[in-house]
Amino acid sequence: MNNISTPLKKHLLVIDDEQDICELVSDVADMLGFSTEQCSVLNELDDLKLNPLPDVLALDLSMPDVDGIEIINHLGSLAVKPQLILMTGFERSVLDGAHKLADRLNVPVLGQLNKPFSIQMLKDLLELPLIQTKPAASKSGAKPSAQKFAPEDIAKGIQNGEFVAYYQPQIDLKTGELHGVEALVRWHHPNGLVMPDDFLPEIESNQQILPLTESVIEQTMRQMIYWQASGLPPMQTSINLSAAYLGELDLPGLMLRLLKDHPIPAELITFEITERIGLNDNNQAVLDTLTRLRLKGFYLSIDDFGTGYSSLSQLNQLPFNEIKIDKSFVFHMLSSPISKAIVESSISLARQLNVRCIAEGIETEEIRDALQMMGCDIGQGYLYSKALPPEDFIKWAAAYVNETRV
């Protein structure tokens, strides 16, 4: 037969220190028309042969020498990545953790197999269509973001008004009405659009978060006045604050000054407290600032609830009005029992504390419906709209309000 007319077989590599599993996976994949390869001994990462690069990599997470997490980290650095089937005999949370890591590194995951698994479960996964893989340019891959930004460029950018607040709608899940918006900053860099994850760490470490925060707040208040004048209903407007630097900013004073020029009820503004660095008791200045903001009538929301430092103990310390469930749990809530449990308990906690509960990262109707059933108050995500530049947001909002009025 000639090579050109033979359709290329999909290639599968299985890595597992249990020889039986290697053979089982290979046999099933063989039956389904894959070419297969097995690896049951991997002493170090350098011994990993990915040539030819498999289309599917069935990977045991717990192995004596190199573990699955190291391998996923390695795959994250490749330009073209195989699709993963994650396997382990450990509890489900181990699979979930590895799945989240792969998501963060843009390594596609075909599915998870909790050992012992049935042949049918394996077949079901191998018969799935392969996910379209994107070449390398992940979150902080190509474009202007690959470079580190010099503090002078950032300062110039702020001065030139290159940091622009975009707006993403938040919807009342019970009524379907427009509830509010979140301001999310983007950098209109001369070389192209740069997303916050690619410049905020730089800005925070250069202590330039204060002028940026001021600019975002001012732009947003200007828009709020404009929305009001355009006949849109009042929208609860969220602004992100990095907690770690709050102590250095006289935000209550700044807000009072800004409110003089932009007459807006303080109750319409919610500050979402984002924690890249932990809030703790030593951070008294931050706690004082937040308490003062609340006393002036502004609302406070715990952002990224359930992750990192955003913990239950803060609910005790601060007068929060809202819990914002992180999108990482929302994304997986229909496939991961742990994510679902975190979403459910956050909603129930919000109800018991009599605070609002909002879920971000809603991309499908199924997830929206599930959140609605669980009693979540507000939803935000690409299902409704991504964050839009001011001129597009106002059109979107007017059309949405018009539609939901009917």
Q: Residue holding tokens 């950032």?
A: 154
Q: Report if residue 300 touches ligand C2E, rule: CB under 6 A.
A: no
Each residue 302-321 as x (binds ligand C2E by CB under 6 A) or -, in order, gives: -xx-----------------
Q: Where is 85: in which H helix or E strand?
A: strand 83-88
Q: Report if residue 274 touches ligand C2E, rule: CB under 6 A.
A: yes
d(CA 175, CA 344): 20
Q: Report if residue 98 touches ligand C2E, rule: CB under 6 A.
A: no
Instruction: Please state the closest distance from residue 25 (CB atom) to ligand C2E, in A.
Output: 31
Contact between 289 and 271 under an 8 Å Cβ cutoff? The reply is: no
Q: Which of 324, 325, 355, 320 is nearest to 340 (CA)?
A: 325
Find residue 38's DSSP bridge partners. Answer: 14
Q: Report if residue 387 touches ligand C2E, rule: CB under 6 A.
A: yes
Q: Report if residue 240 touches ligand C2E, rule: CB under 6 A.
A: yes
Q: Report if residue 273 touches ligand C2E, rule: CB under 6 A.
A: no
Residue 347 tokens read as 């909603």
Name residues contacting ligand C2E, limited to 131-160 (CB under 6 A). Answer: none
In this structure, what are the phi and psi dihedrals at residue 328, rounded to the nearest 5 degrees? Answer: -60, -30
Nearer to Ca ion, 227 or 329 (CB): 329
Contact between 154 and 203 under an 8 Å Cβ cutoff? The reply is: yes
Contact between 350 and 374 under an 8 Å Cβ cutoff? The reply is: no
> Under rule CB under 6 A, how many of the chain's residues touch ligand C2E?
25
**Looking at residue 65, what DSSP letter applies?**
S
Binding interface with Ca ion (CB under 5 A): 240, 272, 303-304, 326
Q: Report if residue 63 touches ligand C2E, rule: CB under 6 A.
A: no
Q: Residue holding tokens 């382990």?
A: 88
d(CA 328, CA 367): 13
Residue 139 tokens read as 């979150």
306 binds, among ligand C2E, Ca ion, none (CB under 5 to 8 A by kind): none
Instruction: Please state the closest distance from residue 342 (CB atom) to ligand C2E, in A.
Output: 15
Q: Which stretch binds ligand C2E (CB under 6 A): 289-297, 315-323, 345-353, 375-383?
A: 375-383
Nearer to ligand C2E, 26 or 380 (CB): 380
Name residues contacting ligand C2E, limited to 330-369 (CB under 6 A). Answer: 360-363
Q: Report if residue 179 touches ligand C2E, rule: CB under 6 A.
A: no
Q: Which stretch binds ligand C2E (CB under 6 A): 25-33, 194-202, 336-344, 348-356?
A: 194-202
With H, G, I as helix, E, B as strand and everything else as coil, classify residue 287: helix
Nearer to Ca ion, 21 or 330 (CB): 330
Contact between 393 and 226 under an 8 Å Cβ cutoff? The reply is: no
Q: Which stretch binds ligand C2E (CB under 6 A): 4-12, 81-89, 251-259, 378-386?
A: 378-386
Q: Which stretch binds ligand C2E (CB under 6 A): 49-57, 170-178, 370-378, 380-388?
A: 380-388
Nearer to ligand C2E, 168 or 223 (CB): 168
Q: Report if residue 216 touches ligand C2E, rule: CB under 6 A.
A: yes
For the chain, helix (H) and strand (E) counts, in that order, are 14, 14
Nearer to Ca ion, 81 or 327 (CB): 327
Cα-trace Rg, the chain: 24
Nearer to Ca ion, 55 or 326 (CB): 326
Task: Say how many Å lie between the first and final Cα of the chain, rounded.
Answer: 65
Contact between 368 and 163 under an 8 Å Cβ cutoff? The reply is: no
Contacts of 214 (CB under 8 A, 6+ apart): 254
Q: Report if residue 325 touches ligand C2E, rule: CB under 6 A.
A: no
178 binds, among ligand C2E, Ca ion, none (CB under 5 to 8 A by kind): none
Residue count of the chain: 406
Q: Report if residue 385 touches ligand C2E, rule: CB under 6 A.
A: no
184 binds, among Ca ion, ligand C2E, none (CB under 5 to 8 A by kind): ligand C2E
**Looking at residue 202, what DSSP letter applies?**
H
Nearer to Ca ion, 88 or 170 (CB): 170
d(CA 23, CA 39): 10
Residue 315 tokens read as 């609910």
Helix, strand, coil share (%) of the chain residues, nearest 5: 45, 20, 35
16 binds, among ligand C2E, Ca ion, none (CB under 5 to 8 A by kind): none
Residues at the interface with ligand C2E (CB under 6 A)? 168, 184-185, 195-197, 200, 213, 216, 240-242, 272, 274, 303-304, 327, 360-363, 380-382, 387
